[in-house]
Structure 1
């Protein structure tokens, strides 16, 4: 079974920030994929190339989001700590919407995950 860590990156519009993140992930031997709006309805399992997952047959007619988002797969806790420390040490603004792939979320589309993470983020930061 392939347990190489992987990362999906969404909507990173700052080229320097994206370059730094990709360079870090590459040095850590993390397979990285930039996900674009036309792919937002595919199941995350398909985007991570997990056997048995297929692309969505729906066309994306406006189910988009512009927030930065990161989805990680097969990261150990030490790898996760290192990734978060990399952001702090390099003064890279934190990405509010990030998640680890789970048996449940692998069936979700990027839009579904984005909406759930946005709801959770809003609830956690209410004053």
Structure 2
């Protein structure tokens, strides 16, 4: 089954930067969705509309983050390389927290993924 690549975007506060990213993804036929704090507890698989993954029944009462984050699904390695090159070629600051959806992370909430990516980012950039 060939599915359409998709991207979840979080906390992009610079409208011009967001416009450039969305325009690139749209040209690449990537389904794009902006995720807001009330959706942060839903499983990533639900946000990507993966059949069989149900929404969280919990309400998000303050478990939020403000960092930019991108989660990608069904990107080939060529598409991923192209997306990363787009940032470099257009001198757009990179997004520190980015991930590909996996069979494990599809069951995680956005908050769980954010916490893990933040931890990894901190470890990788310690001097």
Distance in 2, Cα, partners of 1:27 & 1:84: 15
Distance in 2, Cα, partners of 1:110 & 1:90: 28
Q: 1:3-62 CA distances to partner (integer Å, 9 max, x unpaired)? A: 210000000000000000000000000000000000000000000000001110000001
SS of residue paired to 1:67: coil
Q: Cα distance 1:105–1:21, how it changes in 2: closer, same or farther (>3 A)?
A: same
TM-score, normalised relative to structure 2: 0.99
Unaligned runs of 5+ in 1: none
Correspondence for 1:43: 43
Q: Cα distance 1:2–1:63, how it changes in 2: closer, same or farther (>3 A)?
A: farther
Distance in 1, Cα, partners of 2:61 & 2:106: 22
How far did residue 92 of structure 1 move? 0.7
SS of residue paired to 2:72: strand
How far did residue 2 of structure 1 move? 4.3
TM-score, normalised relative to structure 1: 0.99
Q: 1:67-100 CA distances to partner (integer Å, 9 max, x unpaired)? A: 0000000000000000000001111111000000
Q: Give matches, 1:36-115, under 5 Å.
A: 36-115=36-115
Distance in 2, Cα, partners of 1:27 & 1:18: 14
Distance in 1, Cα, partners of 2:51 & 2:2: 11
Paired residues, what number? 127
Distance in 2, Cα, partners of 1:2 & 1:118: 31
RMSD after superposition: 0.6
